[in-house]
Structure 1
Amino acid sequence: MPQGGFRRSGLEWFSSLPACLLLLAVVLFSTSSDIHNQMLRAGEQLWSGYYKLRMDPVQPECDLDRDIEAEVARELAEQAPADDPMAALLGAHEKDPREVRLAIERSVADCRAAHASYEDLQDKLTPGVKAYRAVELFVADLIAFGLTAQRYVLVILVMLCAVTATLTRHHIAMRAMETRLDYTVSYTLQTIANAMLLGSSVIFRQSSLASSTTVSGEELLLHNFWIVGFACLTLASLYRLFRVSDNLAPGGNLNQAFLSVPLYTVMCLISGTYFALIGHSSGIGIYLGKMMELADMFLNVGLYVWVGMMLKQTRLATLVFNIFRPWRMPPEMLAVVAVLVAAVPTAYTGASGIFVIAAGAVIYSELRAAGARRHLALAATAMSGSLGVVLRPCLLVVVIAYLNREVTTDELFGWGIWVFVLTATLFAMVALTVNRQSQFDLAPAADAFPASIQALRPLIPYVIVIAAVVLFYRLALDVKMDEFSAPRLLPVIMLAILVYEHISLKNGRGRASGEINHQGLERSVRGATNDTTAEIGALLLLLGLSVSIGGVIERSHIMETFPQAFDSPWSAMLLMVVILVILGMIMDAFGAVILVTATVATIAYSSGIHPVHFWMVTLVAFELGYLSPPVALNHLLTRQVVGEAEVLAAQQEGGTFYQRHERIIMPLIAMGISLILVAFVPLLFYAN
Structure 2
Amino acid sequence: MPRSRMRRSGREWFSSLPACLLLLAVVVFSTSSDIHNQMLRGGEQLWGGYYKLRSDPVEPTCDPNRDLEGAIAEELASGSDLDDDLLDLLGSEPKDPEKVRQSVEQALEDCQNRHERYEEIRDRLTPAVRAYRSVELFVADLIAFGLESQRFILVILVMLCAATATLTRHHIAMRAMQTRLDYTVSHALQSVANFMLLGSSALFRHSTVAAGGDVSPERMLLHNLWVIGFAVLTLASLYRLFRPPVDLEPGGSLNKAFLAVPLYTVMCLISGTYFALIGHASGIGIYLGTMMELADMFLNVALYVWVGMMLKQTCMAALVFNVFRPWRMPPEMLAVVAVLVAAIPTAYTGASGIFVIAAGAVIYSELRAAGARRQLALAATAMSGSLGVVLRPCLLVVVIAYLNREVTTDELFGWGIWVFLLTATLFMVVALSVNRQNRFDFAPVSEALPATLSALKPLVPYALVMASIILFYLWALDVRMDEFSAPRLLPVIMLGILLYEHISARRHARKDSEALTHQGLEHSIRGATNDTTSEIGALLLLLGLSVSIGGVIERSHLMGLFPQAFESAWSAMLLMVVLLVILGMIMDAFGAVILVSATVAGIAYASGIDPIHFWMVTLVAFEFGYLSPPVALNHLLTRQVVGEAEIAAAQAEPGTFYQRHERIIMPLITMAIALVLVAFVPLLFYAV
TM-score class normalised by the smaller sequence: over 0.9
TM-score normalised by length of structure 1 = 0.96
Contact kept in structure 2, 1:13 and 1:530, CA below 8 Å: no
Rounded Cα–Cα distance in structure 2 between residues aligned with 1:117 and 1:633: 65
TM-score (norm 2): 0.96
Instruction: Tell which deviates more after alignment, 180-189 or 438-447.
Output: 438-447
* Deviates most, 35-44 or 229-238: 35-44
- Which residue does the alignment assign to 2:624? 624
**Aligned-partner Cα distance in 2 for 1:307–1:272:** 33
- Aligned partners of 2:540 and 2:303: how far apart in 1? 12
Q: Counterpart in 2 of 1:552?
A: 552
Return the offset for 1:83. Answer: 9.3
2:42 match: 42
In the alignment, does 2:466 pair up with 1:466?
A: yes
Match of 1:3 in 2: none
CA–CA distance in structure 2, aligned partners of residues 82 and 62 of structure 1? 28
CA distances 1:423-474 after superposition (whole Å, capped 9, x unpaired): 1110110011114111110111121112111211111111111011111111
- Please provide the CA RMSD for this pair: 1.9
The residue number in structure 2 matching 1:334 is 334
Question: Could you say which residue in structure 1 is the equivalent of 2:449?
Answer: 449
User: Quick one: structure 1 residues 531 and 185, their matched pair in 2 at CA, closer, same or farther if it must change by over 3 Å?
Assistant: same
2-structure distance, mates of 1:245, 1:77: 96
1:519 Cα offset (Å): 1.5
1:659 counterpart residue number: 659
Which residue in the other structure is 1:4 paired with? none
Kindly report which structure 2 residues correspond to 1:40-439, keeping only aligned pairs within 5 A, or say none: 40-79=40-79, 84=84, 87=87, 92-439=92-439
Q: CA deviation at 1:12?
A: 2.8
Q: Is 1:165–1:534's contact at 8 Å kept on the other side of the alignment?
A: yes
Identify the residue that residue 529 of structure 1 maps to in structure 2: 529
Matched-pair contact (CA < 8 Å) for 2:36–2:140: yes
3-state SS of paired residue (1:320)? helix
Is the 1:328–1:441 Cα contact (8 Å) retained in structure 2?
A: yes
Q: 1:373 to 1:87 in 2, by over 3 A?
A: farther
Q: Is the 8 A contact 2:328 2:442 kept in 1?
A: yes
Alignment match, 1:591: 591
Whichever residue aligns with residue 331 of structure 2, its letter is P
- Cα distance change on mapping 1:673 and 1:499 into 2, 3 Å: same
Distance 2:248 2:290 in 1: 39
| Residue 639 (structure 2) pairs with residue 614 (structure 1) | no
- 2:16 — aligned with what? 16
Q: Deviations over 1:246-269 (max 9, x none)?
A: 111100000000000000000000
Does residue 562 in structure 1 map to residue 565 in structure 2? Answer: no
Q: Deviations over 1:330-368 (max 9, x none)?
A: 111111111111111111111111111122112112212
CA distance in structure 2 between the aligned counterparts of 1:436 and 1:451, rounded to whole angstroms: 26
Distance across 2 between alignment mates of 1:89 and 1:297: 68
> Mean Cα displacement is larger for which, 328-337 or 443-452?
443-452
Q: Any idea what the Cα deviations from partners look like across 1:594-628, whole Å, max 9, x if unmatched?
A: 11111111111111111111110000000000000
Determine if contact 2:506/2:516 at 8 Å carries over to the other structure: no
CA contact (8 A) 1:390 1:417 kept: yes
Q: Say whether the 8 Å CA contact 2:570–2:683 is kept in structure 1.
A: yes
State the distance in 1 between where 2:214 and 2:587 align. Answer: 34
Is the CA contact (8 Å cut-off) linking 2:654 and 2:660 kept in structure 1?
yes
Q: 1:681/1:112 Cα in 2 relative to 1: closer, same or farther (>3 Å)?
A: same
Matched with 2:4 is none
- Identify which range, 52-61 or 248-257, moves more after superposition: 52-61
The offset of 1:510, in angstroms, is: 11
- Amino acid in the other structure paired with 1:222: L
Query: Secondary structure of 2:506's match?
Result: coil
Distance in 2 (alpha carbons) for counterparts of 1:457 and 1:668: 37
1:312, distance to aligned residue in structure 2 (A): 0.8
Distance 1:145 1:83 in 2: 62
Residues in 2 aligned to 1:88 and 1:663: alpha-carbon distance in whole angstroms? 99
Over 3 Å counting, the alpha-carbon distance change for 1:653 and 1:579 in structure 2 is same
Kept in 2, the 8 Å contact 1:505–1:518? The answer is: no
Superimposed CA distance per residue, residues 468-488 of structure 1 (whole angstroms, 9 cap, x where no aligned partner)? 111111111111000000000
Residue 185 of structure 1 aligns with an amino acid whose one-letter code is V
Judge conservation of contact 2:386–2:623 (CA < 8 Å) in 1.
yes
Letter in structure 1 aligned against 2:278: I
Deviation, 1:96, is 3.9
Q: Which residue of 2 aligns with 1:574?
A: 574
Q: Distance in 1 between matches of 2:416 and 2:623?
A: 14
SS of aligned partner of 1:564:
coil
Q: Distance in 1 between matches of 2:502 and 2:461?
A: 13
Matched residues, percent identical?
Answer: 77
Q: Residues 230-278 of structure 1: CA distance to partner in whole angstroms, max 9, x if unpaired?
A: 0000000000001010111100000000000000000000111111111
Name the SS for the 1:299 alignment partner: helix
How many Å separate the matches in 2 of 1:452 and 1:13?
44
Q: Deviations over 1:146-192 (max 9, x none)?
A: 11100000000000000000000000000000000000000000000
Unaligned runs of 5+ in 2: 1-6
Q: CA deviation at 1:87?
A: 4.8
| TM-superposed deviation, 1:93 | 4.7
Kindly state the Cα deviation for residue 80 of structure 1 after the two structures are TM-superposed.
Answer: 5.7
Write the letter of the residue equivalent to 2:599: T
* Contact residue 172 and residue 263 of structure 1 kept, 8 A: yes
State the alpha-carbon separation in 1 of the partners of residues 405 and 91 from structure 2: 54
- State the AA in 1 paired with 2:539: L
In 2, Cα distance between the equivalents of 1:620 and 1:367?
Answer: 25
Q: Secondary structure at the match of 1:654?
A: coil
**Partner SS for 2:507:** coil
**Cα distance, 1:536 vs. partner?**
0.3
Distance 1:198 1:123 in 2: 60
Q: Distance in 2 between matches of 1:511 and 1:408?
A: 55
Task: Report how far residue 99 of structure 1 moved.
Answer: 3.3
C-alpha displacement of 1:559: 0.7
Deviation at residue 101 of structure 1 after TM alignment: 2.3
Counterparts of 2:429 and 2:516 in 1: how far apart (Å)?
A: 34
Task: Find the aligned partners of 1:237 and 1:497 in 2 and give their Cα distance.
Answer: 37
Given that 2:350 and 2:394 are in contact with CA atoms closer than 8 Å, whether structure 1 keeps it comes out as yes
Is the 2:505–2:519 contact (alpha carbons within 8 Å) kept by the matching residues of 1?
Answer: no
Give, as a single letter, the amino acid of the residue that structure 2 aligns with 1:121.
I
Q: Residue 140 of structure 1 aligns to which amino acid in structure 2?
A: A
Q: Secondary structure at the match of 2:56?
A: coil
Query: Do the aligned residues in 2 keep the contact of 1:155 with 1:226 (CA within 8 Å)?
Result: yes
Are the equivalent residues in 2 in contact too, given 1:321–1:366 (CA < 8 A)?
A: yes
Give the secondary structure class of the aligned counterpart of 1:65: coil
Alignment partner of 1:640 is 2:640: yes
Cα deviation, 1:554-581, whole Å, max 9, x if unaligned, reads: 1111110111111111011001000000
**1:390–1:420: 8 Å Cα contact kept in structure 2?**
yes
Amino acid at match of 1:249: E
Q: Distance in 2 between matches of 1:89 and 1:328?
A: 108
- What residue number does 2:538 align with? 538
Alpha-carbon distance change, 8 to 558 in structure 1, aligned in 2, over 3 angstroms: farther
- Between the aligned partners of 1:81 and 1:133, the Cα distance in structure 2 is 53
Distance 1:554 1:30, change over 3 A: same
Task: Name whichever of 119-128 and 95-104 sits farther off.
Answer: 95-104
Task: In structure 2, give the amino acid aligned to 1:214.
Answer: D
Residues 109-143 of structure 1: per-residue CA shift (max 9 Å, x gap): 22222112212222221222222211111111111
Q: Report SS of the residue matched to 1:247.
A: coil
**How many residues are treated as equivalent by the alignment?**
680
| Separation in structure 2 between the aligned mates of residue 496 and residue 622 of structure 1, nearest angstrom | 34
